[in-house]
Amino acid sequence: MVHDYIKKEFSKQLDQISDENLRNKVVDVCVEALQIGNDGSGWLDMNFPFTLLIPDLEVSYADHVRIVTDLAIQSADLLSKQGIPIKRDLLIASAILHDVGKPLEYATNSKGNIGKSDTGNRLRHPVTGAGLAMKHSLPYEVVQNIYQHSWEGERGPKRTPEGEILHRCDFLHFGPLKLSREQK
């Protein structure tokens, strides 16, 4: 059931992963994140806000993942035409999974409000997301791209080309959205 839900929510993006085995693993990781997130209570859907840093946000986790993945695909297509080699399947898998630690980072409190989970107070979503991807035997490049998509990627090993695109597309959605809300 949860598998079908994920496949429906991300159908347009998942369909662009040509490797069926990789596509199925991406779905499996999303399913487990929803099942074990919310401090173990699980989430019924992906309609919770994708960030806690923008107040009263109606843009959901699912919306954000779709927008970032679409931005990444469009960027990769443009860059490929300029002769930059892009591993498209790995980019799309990484983009769909970049925030897969967020269902673990957030939880609903007794008043029904969404905030940081106990897990989230210990581990940021890049770490839990990378851990889940490793558990499901995703390629190490995908694990790396998930771990490095935010500021964790500013230190240590260089990002992959796909990880660099993903990092910028993630903030391409977050940055203008946050600024537009601050100007209201």
Pick out residues in 13-32 that bind Fe ion (CB under 5 A).
Answer: none
Shortest Cβ 114–Fe ion spacing (Å): 16
Shortest Cβ 105–Fe ion spacing (Å): 11
Binding mask 156-175 for Fe ion (x = CB under 5 A): --------------x-----
Q: State yes or no: residue 9 binds Fe ion (CB under 5 A).
A: no
* Dihedral angle sign, alpha carbons of residues 179, 154, 161, 83: positive
- Residue 56 Ramachandran class (φ > 0 left, ψ -120 to 50 alpha, else beta): left
Give the CA-trace dihedral at 177, 27, 133, 21, to 10 degrees: -130
Q: State yes or no: residue 99 binds Fe ion (CB under 5 A).
A: yes
Query: b vs e for 124-152, b when ≥16 Cβ sit within 10 Å of the residue's Cβ?
Result: bbbbbbbbbbeebebbebbbbbbbbbbee
Q: State yes or no: residue 105 binds Fe ion (CB under 5 A).
A: no
1 vs 53 by CB, closer to Fe ion = 53
Joined together, the tokens standing for residue 165 give: 């695109």
Pick out residues in 58-87 that bind Fe ion (CB under 5 A).
Answer: none
17 vs 71 by CB, closer to Fe ion = 71
Joined together, the tokens standing for residue 159 give: 């990002």
Q: Which stretch binds Fe ion (CB under 5 A): 3-11, 73-81, 91-99, 176-184?
A: 91-99
By CB under 5 A, name the binding residues for Fe ion.
99, 170
